[in-house]
Amino acid sequence: MYRMLLATVLMCCAALLPGCNLLAWLDLPGPPFDATGAYAGTWSATVPGFAEPISCSLDVELEQDTDATIPEDFHVWGTARLNFTCNDVLGYVDDYGLPAVVTLAVDGFMTPGGQLLLGSLEPVSEGAVGIGIDGAGADSDGDGIMDLLDGNFVLSIDFPSYATLSLPGTFSTDRAN
Ligand SMILES: [Ca+2]
């Protein structure tokens, strides 16, 4: 009975008072590093129906407030820009009606282990483009700032005038600033 009462009081406290942050009260460790910054690298994916993978450049800009109160300090957001302007990609740009560059706002979080889970889904003028990113961040020099991010992504493009394209692939980036 006492535990139920305590739990109820704590839940009410968390729900009603903005200053009452139970997670902060627990004094849990913060994010392993700060992802804020610009990252540049390449993406690679296999287009359905084609054996050869295609690859081109990728830019990611991220923000994270590691001084914020938990869980907001694990919140990561920014933009991911996939270029389709490389020679081996241009054919698919025509075939699939892909834009030359896909720039997407992404939002998500960092796990305590440094994994970044980011996603977006936003309408564009002709349809919808979405991306899901599952990346592993690393702080290679131990200064608390993330230095590289690589992992997997799925880009979904749904234009009414073209077939829906789901492009799963991998990416690798390093800090650019
Ligand atoms: Ca670092």
81 within domain boundaries:
yes
What is the domain range of residue 158?
Answer: 29-175
- For 80, the token pair is 């991911």
Give me the chain's average pLDDT, please.
Answer: 84
**pLDDT of amino acid 2:** 54
Q: Give the span between the Cα atoms of 154 and 161, in whole angstroms.
A: 21
> What's the gap in Å between 33 CA and the centre of ligand 1?
8
- Strands 165-175 and 148-158, by their bridges, are antiparallel
Least confident of 6-10, 58-62, 100-104, 121-125: 6-10
> What's the gap in Å between 62 CA and the centre of ligand 1?
15
15 within domain boundaries:
no
> What's the gap in Å between 138 CA and the centre of ligand 1?
8
**Residue in the structure block whose two tokens are 């009603």:** 16
How deeply is 12 buried, as exposed, middle or buried, from its count of CB atoms within 10 A (0-12, 13-18, 19+)?
exposed
* Residue 94 vs residue 35, higher pLDDT: 35
pLDDT digits (tens, 9 = 90+) for 70-106: 999 999 999 999 998 887 777 777 776 677 888 999 9
**pLDDT of amino acid 125:** 59
> What's the gap in Å between 108 CA and the centre of ligand 1?
21
* Residue 16 vs residue 28, higher pLDDT: 28
Q: Which residues pair with 138 in a beta bridge?
A: 148
> What's the gap in Å between 93 CA and the centre of ligand 1?
36
Q: Which amino acid does the sequence have at 1?
A: M
> What's the gap in Å between 16 CA and the centre of ligand 1?
39
DSSP classification of residue 101? E
pLDDT digits (tens, 9 = 90+) for 43-73: 999 877 777 888 999 999 999 999 999 999 9
> What's the gap in Å between 119 CA and the centre of ligand 1?
24
Would the pLDDT of 11 be above 70?
Answer: no
> What's the gap in Å between 64 CA and the centre of ligand 1?
15
**Residue in the structure block whose two tokens are 């590093």:** 33
> What's the gap in Å between 148 CA and the centre of ligand 1?
8
12 within domain boundaries:
no
Number of domains in the chain: 1
**pLDDT of amino acid 9:** 47
As a whole-number percent, the residues of the chain with pLDDT over 90 amount to 51
> What's the gap in Å between 143 CA and the centre of ligand 1?
5
Q: Which amino acid does the sequence have at 33?
A: F
As a whole-number percent, the residues of the chain with pLDDT over 70 amount to 76
140 within domain boundaries:
yes
User: Can you give the CATH number for the domain in which 48 is found?
Assistant: 2.40.128.120
**pLDDT of amino acid 156:** 87
108: CB partners within 8 A, 6+ apart? 75, 76, 77, 116, 117, 118, 119, 133
20 within domain boundaries:
no
119 within domain boundaries:
yes
* Residue 78 vs residue 1, higher pLDDT: 78
16 within domain boundaries:
no
> What's the gap in Å between 3 CA and the centre of ligand 1?
44
94 within domain boundaries:
yes
Angle at 110 between CA 99 and CA 114, to 5 degrees: 110
